[in-house]
Chain A
Amino acid sequence: MHIMEGFLPSPWWEIWFLISLPFIVIGLYQLNRLVQEKREALPLLAVAGAFVFVLSSLKLPSFNGSCSHPTGTGLGAILFGPFIAAVLGLIVLVFQAVFLAHGGITTLGANVFSMGIAGPAVAYLIYRAGTRAGANTYATVFVAAALADLVTYVVTSVQLALAFPGTAGFLGAFSAFAAIFAVTQVPLAIIEGAVIALVFKYIVQLKPEILTRLNLLSESTVDKLREAAA
Chain B
Amino acid sequence: MKYGMEIAVAALIIVFAAVFLYQNAAIQASLSDGEEAWGGADGEAAGIIEASGYEPWIEPFWEPPSGEIESLLFALQAAIGAIVIGYIFGYWQGSRKTA
- A residues sitting closer than 8 Å to B (CB atoms) are 1-7, 9-10, 43-44, 46-47, 49-61, 63-68, 92, 95-102, 104-106, 138, 156, 160, 164, 166, 176-177, 180-181, 184-185, 187, 190-191, 194-195, 197-198, 201-202, 206-207, 229-230
Contact = CB atoms under 8 A, between A and B. Distances in A.
Contacts of B61: 105
A101 B74 contact: no
Contacts of A102: 42
Nearest to A177: B45
B88 A51 contact: no
B49 A164 contact: yes
A66 B84 contact: no
B32 interface: no
22 contacts: A4-B60, A9-B57, A46-B88, A47-B85, A50-B84, A50-B85, A53-B80, A54-B85, A57-B74, A61-B20, A63-B20, A65-B37, A66-B38, A66-B39, A67-B38, A100-B64, A100-B77, A101-B64, A156-B45, A181-B45, A187-B16, A198-B5
Which has the most chain A C-beta neighbours within 10 Å: B42, B82, B83, B84? Answer: B42
Interface in B5-34: 5-6, 8-9, 12-13, 16, 19-20, 23-24, 27
B57 to A, nearest CB: 5
A164 B54 contact: yes
Contacts of A195: 9
B9 A198 contact: yes
Interface in B33-61: 37-42, 44-46, 48-49, 52, 54, 56-61
Contacts of A56: 77
Interface of B: 2, 5-6, 8-9, 12-13, 16, 19-20, 23-24, 27, 37-42, 44-46, 48-49, 52, 54, 56-64, 70, 73-75, 77-78, 80-85, 88-89, 91-93, 96
Given A5-B60, A101-B64, A166-B52, A184 B77 contact: no
A47 B84 CA distance: 7
Contacts of B23: 63-65
B40 A67 contact: yes
Question: What DSSP secondary structure best describes chain A's contact surface?
Answer: helix
A207 B92 contact: yes
A52 B62 CA distance: 23
Contacts of A97: 60
B96 to A, nearest CB: 6
A67 B39 contact: yes
B82 A50 contact: yes
* 8 cross-chain pairs, A with B, having the tightest CB-CB distances, nearest first: A6-B56, A53-B81, A54-B81, A50-B84, A101-B60, A50-B81, A101-B63, A57-B77
Contacts of A197: 5, 9
Given A43-B88, A53-B78, A207-B92, A164 B16 contact: no
